[in-house]
Amino acid sequence: MWIPQAVLNAKRILLIVTGGIAAYKTPDLVRQLIKAGASVRCVMSKSAEQFVTPLTLASVSGDKVYTDLFSLTDEHEMGHIKLSREADVILVAPATANTLAKMAHGLADNLVTTLLLATDKPVLAAPAMNVRMWEHVATRSNVELLKMRGVKMIGPDEGEMACGEWGDGRMAEPEDIVLTLNAFFNAAAPLSGYSAVVTSGPTVEAIDPVRYIANRSSGKQGHAIAEALQDLGAHVTLISGPVNLPDPVGVKTMHVESARDMERAVDDALPADIAVCVAAVADWRVDGEASQKLKKDPATSNEGGAPSFDMIENPDILAGVSRPGANRPRLVVGFAAETENVIEYARAKLAKKGCDWICANDVSPDTGTFGGDVNTVHLVTRTGVEDWPTQSKFAVAKQLANRIAEHIKALSEDLKPGESA
């Protein structure tokens, strides 16, 4: 597995702590940053002091904690302009919805926002808030605006909130923040300069204007993989069927419905260095979609009784992407969702489709994989099978992204980004 090099030695980090319950994680974050070799200076908003004390952060950082914009002593000894520019990077953790909004719109009404507006250094933010606040259009718009200005988001993670709700909004764990900072300071992120196409979710195939054929794919695994590849520096295009998930922040996302729509979108997204076909594409569609709603009542039905359909095969997107040619990615990864003979069928699919790897998983109803939050993956390659542990779909995504980065690194000894193997 690719692990970022420890490049935090002697790096100066200005940690800005704002008023979310996740502030309780910041003493551990400071300890881990210092253990990795960084020096940490802390700034706190007034609301952050409701969750962790300045004395606690001063004790773990070994430095004074700054809280007041109008402290004459601080302004004389360490003006907010100087404070904002002495660091190598500014880390806002937790970054509340309120702070992100102020950052996006250039407000400077306290020490935190004044520092952020005055700095000329890179800024990273670890959002933390209720899932409804994270999904609100105002927050999404603010985050997109900040990312366009170069602010890097770390997380948020999915999980249980302090309020009892479940979803995206938990601040990333301290170890993940440290790893992200390592990657940030590493001039050669493992997938920097490479492009990736990821398909996700189900496709839906129309029967008539109100009915369709689909499957139970939630898109959680595909979306997580798109984010994990982006975290390692790849430029990612996510092509998603209909799902009940927000678009990953910073990932170019294309929304499609049918298999034919997805095939066209994939063709438009190529060439790319990496393709990961996670989507559960419907194998068949109705030959001749009805233009009007089919009626159950024999008196109003053209044929009377239950309708019958002729089915035709949908395009094979994975086989098409794997086909040799100028646009073939150097690494093509497919997914095999099976309910029996998982490894056997995955090996057959690998040979038939012509891809490089297959991630095989059991989607039997009792596994809870379709629509659930965990997955058990077997990575099938031409040289063998890797049995991965049952873990969250986010963990699967990170493991696969690291495995891809490791493979691309090996190939890059002879090839440059954009060239085919």
Buried (b) or exposed (e) across 84-115, using 16+ Cβ within 10 A? beebbbbbbbbbbbbbbbbbbeeeeebbbbbb
Instruction: Judge whether 89 lies within some domain.
Output: yes
CATH code assigned at 364: 3.40.50.10300
CATH code assigned at 43: 3.40.50.1950
Q: Tokens in use for 243?
A: 């799902």
pTM: 0.61
320 pLDDT tier (thresholds 50, 70, 90): very high
Q: Is 141 in the same domain as 212?
A: no
Clarify whether 163 is annotated catalytic. Answer: yes
Q: What is the predicted pLDDT for the residue at 421? A: 44
Mean pLDDT, range 240-258, rounded to an integer: 90
Higher pLDDT, 199 or 169: 199
Instruction: Judge whether 268 lies within some domain.
Output: yes
Tell me which residue range forms the domain holding 139: 12-185
Q: Tokens in use for 176?
A: 């993940």
Instruction: Judge whether 396 lies within some domain.
Output: yes
Q: Is 98 in the same domain as 153?
A: yes
Q: Is 293 in the same domain as 326?
A: yes
CA 63 – CA 350 distance, rounded (Å): 56
Q: What is the predicted pLDDT for the residue at 86? A: 85
Q: Is 229 in the same domain as 265?
A: yes
Mean pLDDT, range 259-282, rounded to an integer: 97
Q: Is 137 in the same domain as 265?
A: no
Over residues 362-390, the pLDDT tens digits come to: 988 888 788 788 999 999 999 999 999 99
Please state which of the ranges 78-87, 195-204, 239-248, 385-394 shows the lowest mean pLDDT. Answer: 78-87
What DSSP letter does each residue of 281-299 carry, written as one string? --SEEESS--SSPPPSSTT
The total domain count for the chain is: 2
Q: Is 367 in the same domain as 229?
A: yes
Q: What is the predicted pLDDT for the residue at 416? A: 55
Q: What is the predicted pLDDT for the residue at 9? A: 75
Q: Tokens in use for 266?
A: 């994939």
Q: Is 221 in the same domain as 157?
A: no
Q: Tokens in use for 158?
A: 């999915």
Final residue of a structural domain among 185, 208, 236: 185
**Does 203 score more than 60 pLDDT?**
yes
Over residues 306-317, the pLDDT tens digits come to: 778 899 999 999
Instruction: Judge whether 418 lies within some domain.
Output: no
**Does 199 score more than 50 pLDDT?**
yes
Q: Is 342 in the same domain as 259?
A: yes
Mean pLDDT, range 154-161, rounded to an integer: 86
**Max CA pair span of the chain:** 89
Q: Is 246 in the same domain as 131?
A: no
Q: Is 233 in the same domain as 171?
A: no
Q: Is 170 in the same domain as 208?
A: no
Q: What is the predicted pLDDT for the residue at 6? A: 43
Q: Is 311 in the same domain as 174?
A: no
CA 384 – CA 398 distance, rounded (Å): 21
Q: What is the predicted pLDDT for the residue at 2? A: 36
Instruction: Judge whether 190 lies within some domain.
Output: no
Q: What is the predicted pLDDT for the residue at 414? A: 60
Instruction: Judge whether 73 lies within some domain.
Output: yes
Over residues 98-109, the pLDDT tens digits come to: 999 999 999 999
Which residue among 163, 277, 355, 359 is the active-site one?
163
Q: What is the predicted pLDDT for the residue at 219? A: 95
Instruction: Judge whether 241 lies within some domain.
Output: yes
Instruction: Judge whether 3 lies within some domain.
Output: no
